Amino acid sequence: MLKVRPIAERDYPALLQIAEDSGHGFTSLPIDETLLKSKIQRSLRSFAKQVQVPGDELYLMVLEDTVSGDVVGTCAIEAAVGIKDAFYHYRLGKDVHVSPQLGIRREVSTLTLCNDYTGAAELCTLYLKPDWRKDDNGRFLSMCRFLLMAAHPQRFGDKVIAEMRGVSDGDGSSPFWQWLERHFFGIDFPTADYLTGIGDKVFVAELMPRHPIYVNLLSPEAQAVVGEVHDNTRPALRLLENQGFRCQGYVDIFDAGPTVECQRDQIKAVRESASYTLKVSDHTSDANLIVCGSELAQLSIIKANAHIDTEAGELTLKPADAKALGLTHGAKVWALGLNR
C-alpha cells in the first residue's frame, strides 16, 4: 500500500536522494544538507501548529510504500508565499506605441518584475520516482494536497498557485536565463536556481533589471520559451488545468515557465471533497477514493476502494485501510474521488 504522510526526521536521506534525482529547475529542493533539514523541521512545526490565518508554514509530505518502508515521492504546500522572503515573478504586459500622424501603431510585450502573488498558497515540491510513475500514483500524490486544503482551508491562502518548470536542457541551461545572464547577472542558471532554493534572493533585487523588459529585445531563443513548460512538466500542467488552474500572465524570473493559479474554493477537487463518518466493514464498493482523517497531527492519506452512503453521511473502509489511516469506527474522514 502507498500512503502519504507528513515528513519525519528519519526521511532526510530519502529527501536528499530526491533532491539529487530531480535535477536542475527543482528550486524547492536544492542539494544542501542544512536547508533540507531546516525544511523538515519547519514542516514538523507547521503540522503541529494551531493556525487560524496562514503564514510562513510549510506542509511537506512523503509518499511511502508501507510494505518496504521506502519513500518513493514527495509533495508540499507553502501556506502563504512571500511572508518571510520576497516572492518574485515577471508579469507579462503590453506597451502600446501609437503615432496617428505617421499611421503607426505598435504593441510590444513586456516583462515587469513584481511580488503580486504575496500571500498565495503554493503547490510545490512534487516528485515521484520513475519506477512508481504508474497506477495513478502521480495523480494520487498531486491530488492529496487538495484534500488537505478542503479539510483545513484556514491554513492556506485564498489563491493557490503552482510554478511550472520552464524550458531547459539536460545540463540545466535555460535560453531565457542565458539572455539575462549575458546582460545582467553573470552567473549561470544552476547557480541562480540554487541560490534561490537556499533562500538567498538578495541578488535578484540587486541585479534584476529595474525597468520592464521588452520581449522583442530578447534573443529569439529566449522569446520562444516565455510561458512555455518543460516537456516533463506537461502532465502536471494538464492535471492542474483540469482542476481549474490557468496562467494569468505570470512567468518565472529564471526560466520564464508559466505560473498557474486558481482560487482555493474554486479548485474542482476542493469543491468535490466531503467529510463523512467512518464505518469499518469488509463489504465495500469499487469506488476509488483518496481518504484521510480530519486530525492533522495524525495525518495519513491513502487511496482505497470505499463505499459512500450520502444519506447517512458514512464512508465504509475495509479494516486494513482504516488501520493504515490509524482510525477506528466513528472517526471523521475526508474523501475525494481519485479520478475527479
Letter string b/e over residues 91-122, b meaning 16 or more CB atoms within 10 A of that residue's CB: bbeeeeeeeeeeeeeeeebbbebeebbebbbb
Give the chain's radius of gyration (CA, Å). 22
pLDDT tens digits, 284-316? 777 899 999 999 988 999 999 999 999 999 999
CA 285 to each of CA 137, 318, 320, 334: distance values in angstroms, whole numbers, following the listed order: 20, 10, 15, 17
Per-residue pLDDT tens digits for 62-91: 999 999 999 999 999 999 999 988 898 999
pLDDT value at position 72?
97
Options 89, 183, 211, 230, the catalytic residue: 230
Cell of 71: 519513500
Q: What is the structure's pLDDT at 182?
A: 86
What are the tens digits of pLDDT across the range 216-271? 999 999 999 999 999 888 999 999 999 999 999 999 988 899 999 999 999 999 99
Res. 23: pLDDT tops 70: no
Has residue 27 got a pLDDT over 70? no
Residue 100 has pLDDT above 70, yes or no: yes
Enumerate domains of the chain plus CATH numbers: 2-89+115-269 (3.40.630.30), 273-337 (2.40.40.20)
- Residues 304 and 291: their CA atoms lie apart, in Å, by 7
DSSP state of 183: I
Residue 212, pLDDT > 70, answer yes
Centre a 10 Å sphere on the Cβ of residue 52 and count the other Cβ atoms it contains. Answer: 7
- Number of H helices and E strands in the chain, helices first, is 10, 15
Cell of 154: 484556514
Active-site residue flag, 183 = no
What is the rounded average pLDDT for all residues in the chain?
91
**Mean per-residue pLDDT, 150-158:** 97
**Average pLDDT of the residues in 333-338:** 94
Residue 35 has pLDDT above 70, yes or no: yes
Question: 200 pLDDT band (50/70/90 cuts)?
Answer: low
CA distance 226 to 236: 18
Q: Report pLDDT for 338.
A: 85
The yes-or-no verdict on residue 183 having pLDDT over 90 is no
Percent of the chain with pLDDT over 90: 73
Report residue 79 as a C-alpha cell: 501556506
Tell me: pLDDT of 14 over 60.
yes
Mean pLDDT of 318-336: 95
